[in-house]
Amino acid sequence: MALFSSRNVKFLILSVCVFVTSLVSANFYNELDVTWGDGRGKILDNGNLLTLSLDKVSGSGFQSRNEYLFGKIDMQLKLVPGNSAGTVTVYYLSSTGSNWDEIDFEFLGNLSGDPYIVHTNVFTQGKGNREQQFYLWFGPTADFHTYSILWNPQLILFSVDGAPIRQFKNEESKGVPEEVVPFPKNQPMRIYSSLWNADDWATRGGLVKTDWSQAPFTASYRNFNAEACVVVSGTSTSCGTGGSASGNTAWLSEVLDSSEQENLKWVQKNYMVYNYCSDSKRFPEGYPPEYNIG
């Protein structure tokens, strides 16, 4: 059941900017730029592999060349192995400006043998504080796994290897005023990723510091894929009218079916370790408004 009609989706997109839809099975040379790290970020294997490294001097990072307004973004990551305590690998979408929107995957390193924590957050109009954290049901450093962000006019969905772990819905269709539970829908975002030192807070609240004898720390990326509305100036083709290279815009109205909803509940019951919506100490005067919306 879609929360928006196709007519409303089309109007929403056309009212903001002009787009084409693209299906990108990326060569990193063509789609991403290593933007900082003084050589610590590298594109290898003829553009099929990207690595980011961190040492005591600096981390590293990249960003997408394209901006997107809605998309289904997949990236395979192999996280920093061994004693990764103090390190953070982030993979996210973000707009710019003081009232930015942002959709975050953050991977908080840990001592050897202890699990990574996957930290998620959603910012709208510069406001975040919507953290949910999870353990993974596999070792994320031994092999590549797929971390996906679906962002369409109905929802934001975080998935791991195809399994949904979190959704953030657009509640405006239920009559909830935009200012009560704002949803990212107007600001184009780029993809960013970086590997950096955050031992002042990342591992057990900063109690465990980075062991620099283990440096350099390295995270690896491959198989970036984007079914997305790419912001393109000066074109008459829009995202919602079938003018895509792939012809596939099903993701634009995708929502979870009943089976996927059950899978989401199972993951959250068994692997969620923090949910801002149930943190009574943090919100003594009442939970955030989206908590009470059915």
Strands (E), the chain: 19-25, 32-36, 41-44, 49-54, 60-64, 68-78, 87-94, 102-108, 117-123, 132-135, 145-151, 155-160, 163-169, 190-197, 217-231, 272-275
User: What is the identity of the amino acid at 172?
Assistant: E
Q: Around Cβ 95, how many Cβ atoms within 10 Å? A: 20
Report the relative pairing of strands 68-78 and 60-64 from DSSP bridges: unpaired
- Is residue 106 part of the annotated active site? The answer reads yes
d(CA 214, CA 196): 14
- Can you tell me which residue has the tokens 């390295």? 218
Q: Closest by alpha carbon to 210, among 198, 194, 220, 218?
A: 198
Q: Which of 102, 131, 260, 285 is catalytic?
A: 102
SS (H, E, C) 174-194: HCCCCCCCCCCCCCCEEEEEE
Q: Which of 106, 172, 227, 285 is catalytic?
A: 106
DSSP codes joined into one string, 221-256: EEEEEEEEEEE-TT----GGGT--SS---GGGG---
Whether residue 67 lies in the annotated active site: no
Which residues are identified as catalytic? 102, 106
